Structure formats: structure tokens, C-alpha cells
Amino acid sequence: MIDTIGRLLLASFAIAGMAGCKTVRFEYPNARCRITKWNLERKPVVRVLPLVDMRTDKSSTEGWSMLCEIPLVPCMPFHNYDLQGYNGDVGAFDFDMKSEVIDAFVTHLNESGLAIARVSPGKREMKGQLYDIEFRLHKIGIEGYRTCYCLGLFPGCYLHLFGMPLNYADMILDVEIVLTGGEGQVIFQKRYQETTNYHVNLYSNWNCLKFIGINICRLMNRFCADVQDVQPWSVE
């Protein structure tokens, strides 16, 4: 009996170890993104300015969540607002915050058909009706809690081996979008917030960065719907 339990524990640790040996990358759009299409005969030309980082907290408290592996501790809250370095559940993040997020916004605008968007070229390099758009990032990252179901390290890992969630978390995104005309006047300005919840276990939802893509897709679909009728954006 003791040998059997020992083998099960070794197997659970082996699987947990293999789970961490991977690199997590961000892709946009991903298979779970659904970009709403807009068939405009004349598309406005948009210059996308560099991402403005307005986050007041860029920290991570994931390390403290390991306290849930102490017996009788029900769960431990954590957050990760930098999305850099290494995550114990999914592996190493390969994610350039500023460049990849802004590229996702540009990709969405172009694939939606709502605009012809380019990242920060000079105005002389762009022809047609020109607008500037600025994305102000207020929050991005993970919020949630980790649990071993009050059982501590060894029984908790045994449960995780059979698919019980490790983390109950939300991927959050908070972005303000400012659209200005050729003379610098603000045409549209609105702050959007999106949250996607997900559960992490040993067999699913490894790539938490895909949930950033889901939030960007939802956020940008809302923005495109809001801005399509705004004057003078819609004037041909």
C-alpha cells in the first residue's frame, strides 16, 4: 500500500514537473478569437501610437500562493500584473508586453475591415484620411487564488493529478482608447474593461496568454461597434 502511494506521488510530481517545462507564447488572433468583420467601402487611415503604460501596479504575488500547500490552509489569493518571467503552472512567459499588445490592436483593426492601421509611421508616409489612435493600458494580468483543498502538498498534488483545478483565476484587461482627428481634436474616448475566467489544472489551459487575446478581441469588437458611426470618422 505504501509503495503504491509512493508511486502515485512520484507520478504526480513527474507530471507537474513536465508541466512547467515549456514556454508560453502570445498569439493574436488565436483559435478562440472571433473578430467581427466590417465591410466598409472606404476605410479610414489610422496611425497607431505607441502603447501608453499607465499601470500603477506591475507586481506579482504568485510566490505567496504556495502557502496553500500547507495542510488546512484552504486557498491563497494571488495576482500577476507583469506577466513576465516564470509561472509555476504554465512555464516561462515569452511575451513582450508593449509590442505584442499594440500589434494585436493593429491586427484587429486591419482584419476587421474597419480601418487601414499602421504602427507609428510619419504622417508623410501615410496617404488618405488620417486619424491617430492611442491605447492607454491601465491593467493587464491574472487575478485569482490557488488551492490544495486544505489537504496540503502531497494529497493536494494527488488531486491535481486527477484533474482538480490548481488555480481559479481571471485574466483581466483594462484599456482606454483615444481617437483623434487630423487636427488633434478628440473624436472618441472610452475606457474598456474585459475579464475572462479560467481554471488551471494539469491537463488544460496551459497557455494563459491566449486569454489576453480573448479579452483584446472582445474589447476591440466593442470599440469597432462604438466608433463606426462616430462623426467625422464615418464621413467619406
Give residue-wise pLDDT tens across range 85-109.
Answer: 666 556 677 788 889 999 999 999 9
Rounded CA gap, 153 and 156, in Å?
A: 5
Inside any domain, residue 15: yes
pLDDT at 18: 47
**CATH code of the domain covering residue 215:** 3.40.50
Rounded CA gap, 99 and 101, in Å?
A: 6
Inside any domain, residue 74: yes
Inside any domain, residue 33: no
Inside any domain, residue 91: yes
Cα distance between the two ends of the chain? 77
Inside any domain, residue 169: yes
Q: Which of 205, 200, 197 is nearest to 160 (CA)?
A: 200
Q: Which residues of the chain have pLDDT under 50?
A: 13, 16-21
pLDDT at 123: 57
Inside any domain, residue 30: no
Number of DSSP helices (H) and strands (E) in the chain, helices first: 4, 10
Please tell me the total count of domains within the chain: 1
pLDDT at 29: 93
Domain with 134, as residue range(s), is 2-20+41-227
Inside any domain, residue 36: no
Q: Classify the C-alpha dihedral 236-185-173-88 as positive or negative.
A: positive
Task: Give strand pairing partners of 131.
Answer: 46
Inside any domain, residue 207: yes
Cα angle: 166, vertex 195, 102; to 5 degrees: 110
